[in-house]
Amino acid sequence: MVIQKEIEKRVSEFFNPTHFEVLNESGKHNVPAGSESHFRVIVVSEKFEGQMLLKRHQMVNELLADLLKDKIHALALVTKTPTQWSENNDGGKSPPCLG
């Protein structure tokens, strides 16, 4: 869980989220057992206030850029403000792997 812990540390420190989940979805894909390559990250933060969805995702991607380069194969993001989360606290689901 080295990659997952690193995601948790960085996102937690930078965004100071009011709600935060990192889900390792690698087991749903055609990868060796114990892999850390596919993640779903749900972040609820005041830092997203006034930011469009694209900008929110860019913020997370920039924070994890070095991991996305060669460690993380897929990263699904749910980025909401606290108000949005209080209105709909559904983090959604990733689609099934096709490969």
List the CATH number of the domain containing 71.
3.30.300.90
Phi and psi angles of residue 44, each rounded to the nearest 5 degrees, phi first: -115, 115
Residue 82's pLDDT is: 96
Q: List the one residue out of 71, 16, 65 whose CA is nearest residue 43.
A: 16
Structure tokens at 21: 């989940």
Looking at per-residue confidence, does 50 or 90 come out higher?
A: 50
Give me the number of domains the chain comprises: 1
Which residue's structure tokens are 């937690």?
12
35-64 pLDDT tens trace:
677 789 999 999 999 999 999 999 999 999
pTM (two decimals)? 0.87
Phi, then psi, of 93 in degrees rounded to 5: -135, 150
* 46 belongs to a structural domain: yes
Q: Residue 82 has which token pair?
A: 């606290």
Q: Who wins on pLDDT, 6 or 39?
A: 6
Residue 53, domain extent: 2-87
pLDDT for the residue numbered 31: 65
Q: What pLDDT is recorded for position 93?
A: 72
